[in-house]
Amino acid sequence: MSRQGFQSWGVPNTNMATIMGAIALVLWSVGAYLLCVLADLPPFEVIALSQLMGGVTCLLCRREKLSHIRRSFAPKSALLTLFFVINQVAYPLAFRMAPPVQVDLINYIWPTLMVIGCAMARGQRLSLTQVLGMVLSFSAIVALLVPQLFSESFSPGHIGGYLMAGTAALSWTAYCVIKNSDSDVVASNVAGLLITASLSAVLNTFFGEWRALTLNQFALITLLGACVYGSAYPMWVKGIASGDYRLLGSLANGLPVLSIAWLVVGGLAPLSMALVIASILITAGCSLVGVKSNESALIDEEKECALAA
C-alpha cells in the first residue's frame, strides 16, 4: 500500500501515524476486559455481534469492496482465514471457562511461539538471546499457573479454558507465520471477521439464545467490535507504515501488561506478587525473542510483517 494511500486515509505526518499505532495497541489491550464484562450475555451472541461490527468497520476503514476481497482471496487466504476464525472463537470462549488473567497471559505466549515458528519455517537457528526470551515467557505462565493449580479456587473446568487460550495462541501464531502478502491478509481479516460472525450467529441460534441488549451492553459490544476488532487493524498498519515503527514495536512488548492491568483496575483480577512477576517475565520475554544479531534485517522484517498484520 502506497504512502499516498495512507495520506488519503488522513495520516498527515509521522507523529500522527505513530499516535494511531499507539491507539491501536490501547484498543487491543482493552479487548480482554470487554469480553469479561460482557460475560452475562451468551458467548456466541457477543462473538457474532462484535465480529460483524468489526468486519463492517474494517471494510469501511480500508475502503475495500467485497468484490475486491473475493478477487484477492487466494488459496493461502483460505488457510489464513481458518486460523483467524479459530483464534477469534477460542479467545473469547477461554474467558468463560477459566480465570481471566491466566487466560490472557497464556494467549500472549504467541509472540514467542511465532519466533519459533518463523525460525523453523526458514531453517534458521535461534540465538541465545531468543532462547532466553522463550524461557522467560514460558516461566511467566508457570509463575502464574502453579499457584492457581494449588489454590482452593481451582476447578478442573479451568483446564478447558487454559487449553482454549493455548489454542488461540497457536492459531494466531500459525496465522502470523503463514501470512506474507498484504492482499492475502486484507482478504483473510475481513473474511475471517464476517465468517466468524456468521458461524457464531448460527451456533447461538441453535444452541444458545438471543438476549435483548441493554444500552450499556450495546455500547460495550460496539466498542469491542468497531474499535478492537475493526478499526484497530488498519490503524496499526497505518502507524507501522508511516510512523515510527521501532517505537511502536517497543510499545507492543508491553501489550500483555497493559491488557492485564485493565483486568486488575476493573476489579476482575486481584493484584498479587505472582501476577507482577509473571507480567515482568512475559514483557521481558517478548522483548528478547525479537532480538537478532542482524538488527537492520530485523527492522525490515518486522516492518514487513507488521504491514501484513
Q: Is the pLDDT of residue 2 over 50?
A: no
At 309 the pLDDT is: 43
Give residue 273's pLDDT: 85
pTM over 0.95: no
- Tell me what percent of the residues of the chain surpass a pLDDT of 70: 82
In tens, the pLDDT along 128-156 reads 888 888 888 888 888 888 777 777 777 88
Least confident piece of the model among 3-7, 110-114, 255-259: 3-7
- Residues 6 or more apart from 23 whose CB is under 8 A from it? 232, 235
Angle at 25 (CA atoms; ends 235, 47), nearest 5 degrees = 85
Q: What is the 3-state secondary structure (H, E, C) of 238-255?
A: HHHHHCCHHHHHHHHCCH
